[in-house]
Amino acid sequence: METKGTCLKFENPIRDAVTKIRFAPKSNNLLISSWDSSLRLYDVDRFVLRVEAPFEAALLDCCFQNELVAFSAGSDGCVRRYDLDSGIHDTVGNHDDLVSCIEYSDETRFVAGSIDGRIALEYLNSSDAGYVFWCHPKSKDGRHHVVPVNDVAFNPIISGAFVTGNNKGDVATWDAQSKRRIQQVQLPRYSNSVTSLSYNHTGRLLAVASSNTCLEANEIEEPPQIFIHEMDDNRIGSVSSGHSKSEK
């Protein structure tokens, strides 16, 4: 069953492409960075914008250190740390060129998506071998039609399950062990590119940013939107079932 999800409302709409959305480590606060140079914190439980912090440069990425501290990556080469409670921010890094991505993580593995539509799973400090597979199936002519993968998000409660978002507006759920798409979990195709994805800490909410990427000339010019999907027991059961079958 496909559902469009709940669209977040903003009194002052996001004016340019959304670059990253991130749920907080232990709450349903959603961090949002965008090309309109503002860092936002949205309370998804109450559907209220808690923080809107304007900067001079476009923000190309963001992440949490913890519930109260966040980082942003700017087109001016600056990495900034922001205290979400007090509003105080400082510059913790300065680069000669734009900072395109930022992460604060203690995970032991990662998934990388590429512009040619492939997914790579790699392990850190492990003897487990990584692998690469195509994110998009071959068409009838036997060729892979390349669609860039814009983001990847792991489900925090189901090991090896993750979602990808692409420039066609598709969100797909995958099982890392079988390297196959979990067909029982279907989300709608969005009218714009899927630029970012994020699960909350319980794995029961999935945030999807539908926006142009500012990278392609033929993208649809629509206002960016952020949707929240509730992963109910049926959907979580489908993901768990798909993962269990791959282990047998």
Which of 100, 96, 101, 62 is closest to 82 using CA atoms? Answer: 62
* Superfamily for domain range 6-247: YVTN repeat-like/Quinoprotein amine dehydrogenase (2.130.10.10)
Which of 25, 28, 29 is closest to 39 using CA atoms? Answer: 29
pLDDT for res 100:
85
Tokens 């798409």: give the residue: 181
| Encoded tokens for 13 | 């709409």
Q: Does residue 31 carry a pLDDT above 80?
A: yes
pLDDT for res 116:
52
pLDDT for res 177:
78
Please report the beta strands in the chain, taking only residues with DSSP state E, as ranges in sequence order: 6-7, 18-23, 29-34, 38-43, 48-54, 59-64, 69-74, 78-83, 89-94, 109-113, 118-123, 131-134, 149-154, 161-166, 171-175, 180-181, 194-199, 205-210, 225-230
- pLDDT tens track for 135-180: 655 455 656 566 788 998 999 998 888 999 998 899 989 888 777 8
| CA 136 – CA 53 distance, rounded (Å) | 38
CA distances from 6 to 108, 218, 220 (A): 32, 27, 21
| CA 11 – CA 233 distance, rounded (Å) | 33
pLDDT for res 115:
47
pLDDT for res 1:
44
Average pLDDT over residues 44-56: 97
Phi, psi angle pair for 207, to nearest 5°: -95, 135
Sign of CA dihedral 94, 96, 217, 134: negative
CA distances from 93 to 36, 53, 78, 191, 246 (A): 21, 18, 6, 36, 43
For residue 91, the cross-strand partners are: 80
- pLDDT tens track for 169-206: 999 898 887 778 887 778 889 989 999 999 999 999 99
Q: Place 81 in a pLDDT band, splitting at 50, 70 and 90.
A: very high
Q: Place 14 in a pLDDT band, splitting at 50, 70 and 90.
A: very high
CA distances from 70 to 32, 57, 139, 230 (A): 10, 17, 42, 25
Which of 75, 32, 7 is closest to 228 using CA atoms? Answer: 7
Q: Does residue 12 carry a pLDDT above 80?
A: yes
Q: Does residue 62 carry a pLDDT above 80?
A: yes
